[in-house]
Amino acid sequence: MLRPVLILAAAVTATALALVPAAIAFVAAALAIAVFRVLSLRDVCQSVEWPILVLLGPLIPLGEAVRRSGVADLLADGLHDVPSPSPGIGVLALVTATTMLLTPLVHHAASVIIMGPIAASLAAKLGFHPDAFLMAIAIGANSDFLTPIGHQNNTLVLVPGGYRLGDYARLGLPLSLIVIVVGTGLIAAVWPLR
């Protein structure tokens, strides 16, 4: 038990002290787990979520294409023009809701990849820091309560709970609205827009 804890602590420390980027630190930690035989190489390979990698692999260039092609700016202009009594908070809520609606159509990680460039462009157009908008995407992508397919947790409880498709929409809509209202307020409080 000591070896994996030390490996994790080393990766977190290296990232926290900005010695290496997080991606490098945690890939090195995963390799160290295999090298020091905390897990066998077979167990390491079996624990990789290959369908997720196959899904996200093509979507990463798609997210970059959305940014480089100008589609992100085009969509950001459309979201920018939506009337709101409070431009910052209102657009932040709209980004959260848009991400929530996109998540059932694609995997929640994919919705983050697609919405990221759009939110960054929107924040720049409004003169806001992008951190709040990126957090709105993270909240929206992980708060799909409207369908059983947008998040694996919803799928897991579908059959054992005896739920039907309509149950998710009926019970998930009020919960989604609560997340949008409360989440947007908390995001703006913790990550100031300006």
Residues 115 and 22 in one domain: no
Domain total of the chain: 2
Domain span holding position 36: 2-47
Q: What is the pLDDT of residue 35?
A: 86
Residues 94 and 155 in one domain: yes
Q: C-alpha distances in angstroms, 102 versus 20, 41, 97?
A: 33, 36, 9
0.75 exceeded by pTM: no
User: Counting Cβ atoms within 10 Å, is residue 72 exposed (0-12), middle (13-18) or buried (19+)?
Assistant: buried
- Give me the tens of pLDDT residue by residue for the chain, a chain 194 residues long: 788 899 989 999 999 998 998 889 988 998 888 888 888 878 877 777 776 666 666 666 766 776 677 766 676 666 656 555 557 788 889 899 988 888 887 777 778 888 888 888 888 888 888 889 999 999 998 888 888 876 777 777 778 888 888 888 888 889 999 999 999 999 988 888 77
Residues 105 and 128 in one domain: yes
Residues 126 and 105 in one domain: yes
Residues 117 and 148 in one domain: yes
Q: CB neighbours of 66 closer than 8 A, spacing ≥ 6?
A: 72, 114, 117, 118
Residues 31 and 116 in one domain: no
